[in-house]
Amino acid sequence: MDWSLPDGAAGEYENAVMTGEAVETPGVDFRGRSVVITGSSSGIGRQMAICFAKRRADVLVHAGHQLAAAEEVASTLRSLGVRSEALCADLSTTAGQDALCDAAYRWQKHIDVWINNAGVDLLTGPLAEESFEAKLAHLWNVDVSATMRISRRVGAAMKAAGSGVLLNMGWDQAECGMEGDSGELFAAAKGAVMAFTRSLAKTLAPSVRVNCLAPGWIRTRWAEQANDTWQNRACDEALLRRWGTPSDVANMACFLASDAASFITGQVVSINGGRL
């Protein structure tokens, strides 16, 4: 499959990446495939949903609690000509995790791609004022336990069906560490997800591919209000001297889920502009 850009498209591609717009990747078509993306009512997850829909995938949109936001994304996807539904499930509980899996397989009997993108917001949400212990409990329940339990259940179903792709969400700095409470928390949780991904890939091979996305400094809601120190640090630490965008992560997710990545499994892929 040819991943080169058509003649004259390089400038258009660069501009789209810098502005955070979805970029059409030549040669990727998910027509007839079903995709589930947890935490896809906003941010990186929302951009993933749009990128897959633009490549003709049917997408199940998930939110933890904000059904209206999930419905808005699903409506946007349907306007692109694909099937999409929205649902809420609290992934901090085993009951919520099981309910999401049950609903997904009622929606489609076979899931081709499942992305565990949902994660706890410790920086800008209500949890920002909680204690270290409370943050750890929430982060572990959603980012680690939910990812593991859902991946094992969905992975087993995919293996029985003979095919499938699982993608998890790590963090590029989990392997080198970051100072402060948030750094300690995220490194521990995402480091666990990254290690789990490598092991699950061995369990589910060769019929199911399992990889992990490890974003670096991505311009999300927290980044928009970060002070100059963080703004400068994000750009200084990247060889490309800019923040990443949700589209940078979404485009990598589409690639890893596609047939073009059919020989890639058990990998943690950094998306960080070449962090120094």
Query: What is the predicted pLDDT for the residue at 18?
Result: 46
The set of residues, in sequence order, having a beta carbon less than 8 Å from that of 229 and lying 6+ positions away, is none
Domain range 25-269, CATH architecture: 3-Layer(aba) Sandwich (3.40)
pLDDT band at residue 235 under the 50/70/90 scheme: confident
pLDDT (tens digit per residue) in 146-185: 999 999 999 999 999 999 999 999 999 888 888 988 899 9
Could you tell me if 166 and 151 are in contact, meaning their C-beta atoms sit under 8 angstroms apart?
yes
pLDDT for 24 beyond 70: no
pLDDT for 25 beyond 70: no
Average pLDDT, stretch 15-40?
73
* Gap between the Cα atoms of 150 and 117, Å rounded: 12
* Gap between the Cα atoms of 231 and 216, Å rounded: 13
pLDDT for 14 beyond 80: no
pLDDT > 70: percent of the chain: 90
Query: What is the predicted pLDDT for the residue at 145?
Result: 98
The set of residues, in sequence order, having a beta carbon less than 8 Å from that of 201 and lying 6+ positions away, is 209, 210, 211, 265, 266, 267
* Gap between the Cα atoms of 154 and 85, Å rounded: 19
pLDDT band at residue 12 under the 50/70/90 scheme: very low
Which pTM does this prediction carry?
0.86
pLDDT for 232 beyond 90: no
* Gap between the Cα atoms of 180 and 3, Å rounded: 40
- Output the CA–CA distances (angstroms, integers) from residue 9 to 21, 26, 52, 152, 271, in the order listed: 15, 11, 20, 41, 22
Query: What is the predicted pLDDT for the residue at 271?
Result: 94
pLDDT (tens digit per residue) in 88-138: 999 999 999 999 999 999 999 999 999 999 998 888 878 888 899 999 999
pLDDT for 10 beyond 70: no
**3-state secondary structure labels for all residues of 240-258:** CCCCECHHHHHHHHHHHHC
Looking at per-residue pLDDT, the higher value among 142 and 22 belongs to: 142
pLDDT band at residue 38 under the 50/70/90 scheme: very high
Domain chopping of the chain, boundaries = 25-269
pLDDT for 239 beyond 60: yes
List the beta strands (DSSP E) in the chain: 34-37, 58-63, 84-88, 113-116, 164-169, 208-215, 268-271
Query: What is the predicted pLDDT for the residue at 22?
Result: 52
pLDDT for 11 beyond 50: no
